Structure 1
């Protein structure tokens, strides 16, 4: 009970500290010397992509429930040595993904270009050196295009502050584009504020805030059940149950950190780096320990074998490698991510985690098969029953995981432009629900109780004898008496000619 009270006190202090974290109004997307990259015949800086829900027709940024994109202190800079000429416009273009075909064009069916070429200018569809765009037929007034140009001997030009109201729900994209090769060393500074009706969270991430709040509550309910059982039967607790307690505790902290991460992000527009790192780290530690627990349970540790023997170092090495690879991947995908287009880590970081997960699965099921065979051979009915349920739960989880991975691949391959952003939050949420469900099954199978010790390894498991029916049974060495270990009386052994061994000895004499 003392442990439970200490944990509750620690959690209360943590939540208080998080609640008192200072909030500073800031932009969703900041630009600090962003360099224009060559894309086709244009030079581009991607300013952000977010799903935004529509707001009321009345536009007042101070009112709640208003969606907008606001440009603040956007400045374009060029080197002094390249300031001896006046330039064309450095364009800013904002468009909804359904209107992507209105940006760019091609002459005679050739390669699509963003900047107007000489051939397109001859056709009279655009002005050479300007970006190509046409009015949207579905969204009047879009795409939004404006810009600023450099005067002679000027190294800076500023974009006029403005706000764009969002009256149609969709995935909006912002790009800074120029078509002048002489401006290839231009950089952009400043910030843009993107706001949904409910706050600064991007549309794809917004449902995750409520989801992590729900998951935090679910872990609290599971934790209360587990800790009550733990406190009630603490004398019968197994080492495995201590490990499960650790996983539940880590899960509580992980969900709480994610919830406060999204709360902070939604209120300020800035991703809180410290909270995000803690959320990622707690989650990675939890996943690593969960996999190690499942592996050592599959090996029969504490049930049919007292130690892992020479496998301990290999198990720890696998766990350590998985932790490092998973932590790096999660940090890259989450820390500082403020765009609905972010979170797409390169294959170099995804592959190691996938390979290590596959190795875990292979080792777990190989070990489970061996453990089940041992339990069946020794006729340990209670342990065999719980291991069969555990195996079935793992098999169902693996089948569901493979099916969901296939769906995820299908979803992403058919959503190149993030048009289905409103449903994208379900993909990360599913993995959290699946791991929580498997944890609940493990808690149900190995919950502390009066009979917990019957699943523990004991010295009886090492001694075997055959009973009267020549079946395998287990007894304690201490239960043997002197009479049991006394040498048996010599018996006559019949030979092939009907004479006993004793008769043969008499004849020989």
Structure 2
């Protein structure tokens, strides 16, 4: 005879009551949970002579809301709402580009593509959790698609950050050969990150002891890729900060008031995003040592990361939104005036690149700033 008893308690403090909350036999193995919390199942085999083997068979755990673990249950509804917001923002930007297609600039296509990738990622993440919650199983095709789209989104966002920081669409009509370098670095980052993530997943899927050596090899290869990805991240961040500083200084020296205002707004946007990232990192470190958040609240940290990304993307979309003068904006230079309101006059001419503009002494502005 096998007696199955389920006790309620907190596994972290081993606070298990002395009496079982409910007993059941093999004919009626269902246990209805009436109070939320952590549960411990104890199985006792009566008349055990030490030679018997107990076979448990299969067990299925399902809450009232579905099969999703409680610590990520809220993410399912969050992804659904975020996908709806992404859809509205992407549709607004696409309609604007269609309405002002004659005045469209190339960087708007990259912004729209990044919005589409972001929408697809959260949509597949939501679908993955919804299927898991209904069936109790995850579809690998959906989960891996969401993973790939997430990596592609992070790579494209880094490329877009460099593009806007260099003033594409504000002081540059095109980026020339630099655009190919930006895209190459973004693809390299995405490829290495995707390979690392898939190696980690393959290592976690090892189920037999004979494959332990293979698991260790996969983890070692993933660890080798990690520092390379970190270096590429550092290159991207330094490139964005350096380009943003150079473009801002150039616009200030040239008295380009309205363009400078836009780039100052972009700088505030990036600084705010970095502050949020820093706070999340600090909270994660505190969580490791204090456990101030319950397990069912941990999804909030992941949700804030997605909201922060949408905040930056939407802000860039607003600053570079489609309008009837967008195409001429990068080819107009403001005429410096003596009064505060006299800088609104603009001359139709090609604005030189911030890296190619020379000062009166023949030195490049970037070199002068560096010295």
TM-score by length of 2: 0.72
Using the alignment, how far apart are the partners of 1:372 and 1:100 within structure 2? 53
* Pairing partner for 2:16 from 136, 140, 159: 136
Counterpart in 1 of 2:272? 396
Q: How does 1:55-134 map to 2 (within 5 A)?
A: 98-102=10-14
Find the counterpart in structure 2 of residue 369 from structure 1.
245
Q: Report whether the alignment pairs 1:379 with 2:255.
A: yes
2:163 aligns to what SS in structure 1?
helix
Alignment of 1:429-448 (within 5 A): 429-448=303-322
Give the match for residue 294 of structure 2.
Answer: 420
What's the CA shift for 1:262? 1.2
1:290 alignment partner in structure 2: 157
Correspondences of 1:11-410 after superposition (within 5 Å): 98-102=10-14, 136-137=16-17, 140-141=19-20, 162-172=29-39, 191-308=58-175, 311-312=178-179, 314-328=181-195, 330-331=197-198, 348=223, 353-410=229-286
Larger relative helix fraction: 2
Q: Output the aligned Cα RMSD.
A: 4.4
When residues 360 and 453 of structure 1 are mapped into structure 2, their CA distance, relative to the original with a 3 A threshold, is same
CA distance in 2, matches of 1:171, 1:440: 40
The alignment's TM-score, normalised by the length of structure 1, stands at 0.54
* Separation in 2, partners of 1:229, 1:100: 54
Task: State how 1:482-501 maps to structure 2 within 5 Å.
Answer: none
Distance 1:391 1:437 in 2: 14
Structure 2 CA distance, aligned partners of 1:364 and 1:174? 54
Q: Helix, strand or coil for the counterpart of 2:68?
A: coil
Counterparts of 2:6 and 2:181, CA distance in 1: 53
Q: Residue 117 of structure 2 contacts residue 153 of structure 2 at CA under 8 Å; is this kept in 1?
A: yes
CA contact 2:8–2:39 (8 Å) conserved in 1: yes
- Residue 230 of structure 1: CA displacement? 1.4
Shift of 1:260: 1.2
Task: Kindly provide the CA deviation profile for residues 232-265 of structure 1, in whole angstroms up to 9, marking residues without a partner as x.
Answer: 1111111011111111111221122111111111
Q: Is the CA contact 1:233–1:449 (under 8 Å) kept in the aligned structure 2? A: yes
Residues of 2 paired with 1:312 and 1:93: CA distance?
Answer: 65
- Give distance in 2, aligned partners of 1:93 and 1:337: 31
3-state SS of 1:193 partner: coil
Whole-angstrom distance in 1 between the partners of 2:174 and 2:295: 49
SS in 2 for 1:326: helix
**Aligned equivalent of 1:84:** none
Instruction: Give the unaligned 5+ runs of structure 2.
Output: 44-49, 206-217, 339-345, 351-371
CA distance in 2, matches of 1:329, 1:92: 43
Q: 1:262 to 1:466 in 2, by over 3 A?
A: closer
User: Retained in 2: the 8 A contact 1:372–1:384?
Assistant: yes
Post-superposition shift, 1:314? 4.1
Q: Would you tell me which structure has more strand in proportion to its own residues?
A: 1
Query: Given that residues 390 and 442 in structure 1 are in contact (C-alpha distance below 8 angstroms), is that contact kept between their aligned partners in structure 2?
Result: yes
Higher Cα Rg: structure 1 or 2?
1
Task: Assess if the C-alpha contact under 8 Å between 1:212 and 1:255 holds in 2.
Answer: yes
CA distance in 2 between partners of 1:307 and 1:229 (Å):
21
| 1:476 to 1:284, Cα distance in 2 relative to 1, 3 A | closer
2: CA distance, partners of 1:412 / 1:259: 27
Q: 1-side partners of 2:236 and 2:38: how far apart?
A: 38
- Residues 1:257 and 1:377: Cα distance change in structure 2 (over 3 Å): same
Distance 1:310 1:229, change over 3 A: closer
Q: 1:301 to 1:229 in 2, by over 3 A?
A: closer
State the Cα distance separating 1:407 from its structure 2 match.
0.9
Q: How many residues align?
A: 322
What's the CA shift string for 1:436-472, capped at 9, x where partnerless? Answer: 111111111111011212432x4x77xx99999xxxx
